[in-house]
Chain A
Amino acid sequence: MQTHLADFIKDTAAGREADGILRSCVHCGFCTATCPTFQLLGDELDGPRGRIYLIKQMLEGQAVSEKTQLHLDRCLSCRSCETTCPSGVRYHRLLEIGREVLEERVPRSLAARATRFLLTEALPRPWIFKPAVALGQLFRPLLPRVLADKVPVPAGGNEQPWPRASTHVRKMIALAGCVQPTLTPNTNAATARVLDRLGITLSEVPGAACCGALRYHLHAQEKARDDMRQVIDAWWPLVESGQVEAFVMTASGCGEHVRVYGEVLADDPAYAAKAARIADLTRDVSEVLAGERERLNELLASSSQAGGERVAFHSPCTLQHAQKIRGVVEALLATAGYQLVPVADPHLCCGSAGTYSISQPVLAGQLRDGKLAALTAGSPSVLVTANIGCQTHLQSGSSLPVRHWIELIDERLNGVD
């Protein structure tokens, strides 16, 4: 595509990167077909190709208003378009660059800024988030509908204890996460039990809580980098002493972000190398299990727990589009004897998308209902996913339980002795 970037940006690193991305787009429009918002709204401006054009205009120095802001805000950053794009357009990077410029150009209302401030300050801090959710859940019946809908629902199974005295030679570290310990505490516990049976000791490191993704996507870049440095500081001694084999991500949203630590902190001389090393050691829990397939199969073969339950799996965008991990969880569940029901349009986002369900409640609700209809079409008895955001968002509209898939593997292995 022809480009003429404006003076304010063309000679900057971001400008050069944006120019390269813009020029890789040939405007074929394939991306619109798999874009969740284009499918809902049918306006070029609400699809990737139109958004690329909106960003291009802004970077070429054209006037920009809250109209561009509206359409860029509506983007879920699900990156379904990148999976579809045959030209290899790195859309999410262009969007990040575009959104950053736009934040300077088009001011937001006081209310919008206040909401954003609350999200960036409260969600990443379990000591604020946990009591807030408890209060919200307690008073939900008294809250007006708009507010009541915003109180996250707990999801997943009841918290079972972590394995006691797991002292294997192989050690991995799980990220505790920010909202996950409050909303789905069984996820990491189940992961620890499964890995324990596979001969791996899993633990969490105090001090490593929020991975930084949340604030990174709320345009609080510096605060996000602080979160990231905090995680790195907590983990680095274990990397240096060679005690840890991998960092295990049980929320694909966090996994996606930790995997780009190296890129995001590339210009921070004190952290760049550490960040890149930690990104290298990061694995989604599905990858860890897939790597232990032999031992897992032996365990499953000796399990007395029957399988056969009908399961619908929702692959989070951060798993299938950003980390490009496809078919791995499905294969693990099938190996464990679960019956996977077919799900239409598996590439579509559920509408959770970080804080999207809060900032764009109408679209998020439509996407959630569409996703739930697709997930339940095959009459499953349980829905599973791989990311805390998707899990609680789907649960908020579902009468069926929505769980992390690792809990199902854990339950199958409970029959092993």
Chain B
Amino acid sequence: MSSATGLPDQRFTVDRAVLISRLRAVLPAHALLADEEEMRPYDCDGLTAYRHLPLLVALPEDEAQTQAVLRICHALHAPVVARGAATGLSGGATPHPDGVVVSLAKLKKIVKLDPLARTAVVQPGVRNLAVSEAAAPYGLYYAPDPSSQIACTIGGNVAENAGGVHCLKYGLTVHNVLRVRGLTIEGDVVEFGSAALDAAGYDLLALINGSEGLLAMISEITVRLTPKPELAQVVIASFADVRKAGDAVASIIGAGIIPAGLEMMDKKAIHAVEPYVNAGYDMNAEAILLCESDGTPEEVAEEIGRMTAVIEKSGASMIRVSQNEAERLKFWAGRKAAFPAVGRMTPDYLCMDGTIPRKHLAEMLEAIGHLSEKYGLRCANVFHAGDGNLHPLIMYDANQPGELERAAAFGADILELSVRFGGTITGEHGVGLEKVMLMAEQFSTAEIAAFHRLKAAFDEAGLLNPGKGIPTLARCREYTQARAGNAAGAPGQA
């Protein structure tokens, strides 16, 4: 874990007065914030545990202004942190204290929507859901659906390679983006991918997806649109035992079914959500599964039959199938609102994002239960169960001294355990500031060094989002030494 303050290792000396006067020359007056009063609300994203007052906040209104801001920052050696809707949960948009936050929220035009080619060209500040809304009249939608899709932007989705409850079948952001236009730190335009399915040379499009603002600032995206399935239905199953629910997930996939979505929530998550959403969840269940099928009515009928058979055999205590679209959306509404709804039970939470092989789900849940007791902090569990992506929500109260540190240690334990189960430290939220040190758990020093070289190929001066995504080699060494010291007493050894 990074230090409790999340302060970056690398500091920059920037002449703020010169920076202000030069940025003022290229931005409208209301598009540059320099007073603490106005900048404070920009001091964090969805990860509120780490907050830094930026040096300045710029709100460019078009690509030309964005380019000009980058050129000036590059010339004055000022770090730049791109920000979309700031719904991210790993601190990818946490400001650098010596740098400029560049908010892309004003770049929110849908440039072109081509229903025949099934593509849309959008600016980075366009909201995820707004793309689907614009495509709806043509029977199309944008498939990746992070739970924050009402607010999060496509630019941010690309930067984090966002997933969602339906990515099990339809893929992550990277599988639904054809082309990304970016700006280098020098302000030069760089194109990744194209309208064609493949291009010569390295697949740099895959590289920019999930690059967390470290390589280029995203200025335009061509997304793939997907035809809306004729029908979708969701099975909602209750389990009296978390282990049985975990095993049901493995059985469904094992039976060769690829559900459109396969989600799991434990009792604490159900109890957080149900009173607010009235989604109709079983309050007596220890865990529920949401398992969706979509396609033609015949395909859905057949698949729902197979799904319910497998779930029944896994020992579900109750099974219901959505009877209409309104009910299906209601069943999903609870899952989509799960994170903030946990906010009703606790003033603060940390949302973890590890992945593990599906067969370890039940084991992992038990281990999290033990850790919850060990740290004396409650934890609600929401999983993209189908792809083994865990979202434990560790509840704490930032007003109580020491609770954040305990929550962070709890989270680190979960992620270390994920790696030991053969998984990863992040499934879809990105590394950001939050998990930067845990990269050393996942990757060797040589791999980390290679990441640094890749970063330098785009941004030699290291001005784009410094301190995020990749730990410095010095920090890696510290981390490995510290871990070696603690290894004997580590919890939940797999």
With a CB–CB cut-off of 8 A, which chain B residues contact A32?
85, 151
**Would you call B225 an interface residue if the criterion is a C-beta within 8 Å of the partner chain's C-beta atoms?**
no
**Would you call A110 an interface residue if the criterion is a C-beta within 8 Å of the partner chain's C-beta atoms?**
no
A57 touches B347 (CB 8 A): no
CB distance from A34 to the nearest CB of B (A): 7
With a CB–CB cut-off of 8 A, which chain A residues contact B30?
43
Which of the four size classes fits the interface of chain B? 35 or more
A62 touches B348 (CB 8 A): no
CA gap between A54 and B85 in the complex, in Å: 18
B41 touches A45 (CB 8 A): yes
**Would you call A93 an interface residue if the criterion is a C-beta within 8 Å of the partner chain's C-beta atoms?**
no
A27 touches B150 (CB 8 A): no
With a CB–CB cut-off of 8 A, which chain B residues contact A1?
48, 347-348, 398
**Would you call B276 an interface residue if the criterion is a C-beta within 8 Å of the partner chain's C-beta atoms?**
yes
A71 closest partner in B (C-beta): B38
With a CB–CB cut-off of 8 A, which chain A residues contact B33?
45
CB distance from B347 to the nearest CB of A (A): 4
* Of A83-91, A135-143, A289-297, A354-362, the one touching chain B: A83-91
With a CB–CB cut-off of 8 A, which chain A residues contact B349?
26
With a CB–CB cut-off of 8 A, which chain A residues contact B42?
44
CA gap between A4 and B399 in the complex, in Å: 8
A29 is contacted by which of B125, B148, B276, B337 (Cβ under 8 Å)? B148
**Would you call A111 an interface residue if the criterion is a C-beta within 8 Å of the partner chain's C-beta atoms?**
no
B37 touches A67 (CB 8 A): yes
A44 is contacted by which of B86, B152, B344 (Cβ under 8 Å)? B86
A43 touches B105 (CB 8 A): yes
Contact code string B18-61 (vs A, CB < 8 Å = 1, else 0)? 00000000000010010111101110111010000000000100
Contact code string A257-268 (vs B, CB < 8 Å = 1, else 0)? 000000000000
**Would you call B424 an interface residue if the criterion is a C-beta within 8 Å of the partner chain's C-beta atoms?**
no
B103 touches A27 (CB 8 A): no
| Residue picked from A32, A44, A344, most chain B C-beta under 10 Å | A44
B106 touches A28 (CB 8 A): no
B398 touches A2 (CB 8 A): yes
**Would you call A113 an interface residue if the criterion is a C-beta within 8 Å of the partner chain's C-beta atoms?**
no
A29 touches B86 (CB 8 A): yes
B35 touches A42 (CB 8 A): no
In the complex, which residues 73-97 of chain B have their Cβ closer than 8 Å to any Cβ of chain A? 85-87
CA gap between A388 and B127 in the complex, in Å: 33
CB distance from A372 to the nearest CB of B (A): 19
A27 touches B129 (CB 8 A): no
A54 touches B276 (CB 8 A): no
**Would you call A65 an interface residue if the criterion is a C-beta within 8 Å of the partner chain's C-beta atoms?**
yes
CA gap between A23 and B48 in the complex, in Å: 12
CB distance from B56 to the nearest CB of A (A): 14
Contact code string A15-53 (vs B, CB < 8 Å = 1, else 0)? 000000001111111111110001001111100011001
CA gap between A2 and B348 in the complex, in Å: 8
B125 touches A42 (CB 8 A): yes
CA gap between A68 and B151 in the complex, in Å: 24
CB distance from A282 to the nearest CB of B (A): 25
| Residue picked from A31, A42, A88, most chain B C-beta under 10 Å | A42
**Would you call A302 an interface residue if the criterion is a C-beta within 8 Å of the partner chain's C-beta atoms?**
no
CB distance from B127 to the nearest CB of A (A): 6
With a CB–CB cut-off of 8 A, which chain B residues contact A24?
343-344, 347
With a CB–CB cut-off of 8 A, which chain B residues contact A45?
33, 38, 41
**Would you call A64 an interface residue if the criterion is a C-beta within 8 Å of the partner chain's C-beta atoms?**
yes
CA gap between A190 and B350 in the complex, in Å: 55
Which of the four size classes fits the interface of chain A? 35 or more
CA gap between A54 and B39 in the complex, in Å: 10
A49 touches B344 (CB 8 A): no
A27 touches B46 (CB 8 A): yes
CA gap between A24 and B276 in the complex, in Å: 14
A53 is contacted by which of B41, B59, B103, B150 (Cβ under 8 Å)? B41
Given known A28-B46, A33-B151, contact A42–B59 (CB-CB < 8 A): yes
B35 is contacted by which of A28, A49, A67, A88 (Cβ under 8 Å)? A67
With a CB–CB cut-off of 8 A, which chain A residues contact B38?
45, 67
With a CB–CB cut-off of 8 A, which chain B residues contact A63?
37
A68 touches B150 (CB 8 A): no
B35 touches A86 (CB 8 A): no
**Would you call B339 an interface residue if the criterion is a C-beta within 8 Å of the partner chain's C-beta atoms?**
yes
With a CB–CB cut-off of 8 A, which chain A residues contact B108?
42
**Would you call A3 an interface residue if the criterion is a C-beta within 8 Å of the partner chain's C-beta atoms?**
yes
Given pairs A23-B399, A24-B347, A33-B129, 5 additional interface contacts (CB within 8 A):
A1-B347, A28-B339, A28-B340, A43-B30, A43-B59
Question: Could you show 25 A-B contacts with beta carbons less than 8 Å apart?
Answer: A2-B399, A23-B347, A24-B343, A24-B347, A26-B48, A27-B48, A28-B87, A30-B148, A32-B151, A33-B127, A34-B150, A38-B105, A41-B106, A42-B103, A42-B108, A43-B105, A43-B106, A45-B33, A50-B41, A54-B40, A57-B40, A62-B37, A63-B37, A84-B150, A86-B339
On B, residues with C-beta under 8 Å from A are 30, 33, 35-38, 40-42, 44-46, 48, 59, 85-87, 103, 105-106, 108, 125, 127, 129, 133, 148, 150-152, 276-277, 337, 339-344, 347-349, 398-399
On A, residues with C-beta under 8 Å from B are 1-4, 23-34, 38, 41-45, 49-50, 53-54, 57, 62-65, 67-68, 84-88, 344
Which 6 pairs from chain A and chain B are nearest by CB?
A: A2-B398, A87-B343, A26-B343, A86-B340, A53-B41, A42-B106
